[in-house]
Amino acid sequence: MIRRLTYTIVVIFFILLAVKQTKGQEFPWSLQYISNMHMVNPAFVGMWDKAGFLVSTRQDYASIKGATMYQQFSFHSPIKNHSSGVGLDVIKRYVGIERQLFFTGNYAFQIRLDMYNYLRFGLKAGILNYGNDLTRYDLYPDHISDPEFQNDIQNYNMTVVGVGGVFFNDHLYISLSAPRLINNTFRVNRTGYSSTQEFKTAYLAGGYVFKMPMGILLRPNLLVVGTVGKPVYADVAGVVYLPNNLQFGLNLRTNGSSCFSGQYTFSNNLRIGFAADYAIFQDIRKFQVGTYELLVGYDFNIYRKTGKPNYF
């Protein structure tokens, strides 16, 4: 059964990769998602014995005024004496003057398939608080007023619901998730106004941890992102884990960009990560100096168990 499941998902990978690809897809909200898979799939929360939290900030297209900025706080923890976990995400997203504030909770439960393999399912639910101060936009050089921009859109709450599943063991994982399933549209003294978070996007990912000489571990990773009405986007990555709690990563993306990342974990379980994404084959590279992300996390053994290392 396990071989058949693995074969089926691998076939799906190649089918998705065969679809025409393009620029401008729905990206993961973190450049360093590869070491924090719960950002992409709620089924990962509480997978390992340790609990933890992280804060991160990401600036897209530095030097471009009004480019997207993300700020995130996340907490995740296993539940004592249960094969399940819980998590909390608070995310701010700015695009120019537009503001989106996400409050979401995650829950995951686990099924043991045999001695080595497991299957987890996750649920994400919460609210999105949306605001857009339309009166602050400078539309025309001659300052001609536009009726559609004479009223602010503030404090509209919308629903966020997502699901995910992951098959895994100590070395392998195959993940499928859809973090946002519900379309959110609201009316504000006009025919209709909707946020850009309405895209129904699915994330299919997989990775394997190889043991190398001198205690080095290598994890190749593949992420395929499909959005309704858009071509497929893919992210091929590799992470090297060094024995001294230092890791480096490289991502190559089909949108024409690449990402370099590094992360160090101190002896007190505090970890700091940095990532930089650069456009290689995109025209926008002429107008910006890259996308950057800083991440700080802390893991703690909440139930004092002998936890296994977390490579996902």
CATH number for the domain including 220? 2.40.160.40
Considering the domain boundaries, does residue 147 fall inside one?
yes
Instruction: Indicate if the pLDDT at residue 309 is higher than 60.
Output: yes
Considering the domain boundaries, does residue 310 fall inside one?
no
Residues 6+ apart with CB under 8 A from 271: 263, 264, 265, 295, 296, 297, 298, 299
Q: Which pLDDT tens digit goes with each residue over 79-113?
A: 987 889 999 999 998 888 888 899 999 999 999 99
Considering the domain boundaries, does residue 288 fall inside one?
yes
Instruction: Identify the pLDDT of residue 43.
Output: 95
pTM for the model stands at 0.82
Question: Residue ranges of the alpha helices (H) in the chain?
Answer: 2-17
Instruction: Identify the pLDDT of residue 297.
Output: 94
Considering the domain boundaries, does residue 280 fall inside one?
yes
Considering the domain boundaries, does residue 308 fall inside one?
no
Which conformational region is residue 6 in: left (phi greater than 0), alpha (psi within -120 to 50 degrees), or beta?
Answer: alpha
CA–CA distance, 46 with 24 (Å, rounded to integer): 32
Instruction: Find the mean pLDDT for residues 43-63.
Output: 90
Q: Which pLDDT tens digit goes with each residue over 230-267?
A: 788 899 999 999 998 999 999 998 888 899 999 999 98
Token duo for residue 147: 């009726």
Instruction: Indicate if the pLDDT at residue 65 is higher than 70.
Output: yes
Greatest alpha-carbon span in the chain: 71
Q: Which pLDDT tens digit goes with each residue over 201-217?
A: 899 999 999 999 999 99
Provide the domain limits for residue 187: 2-300
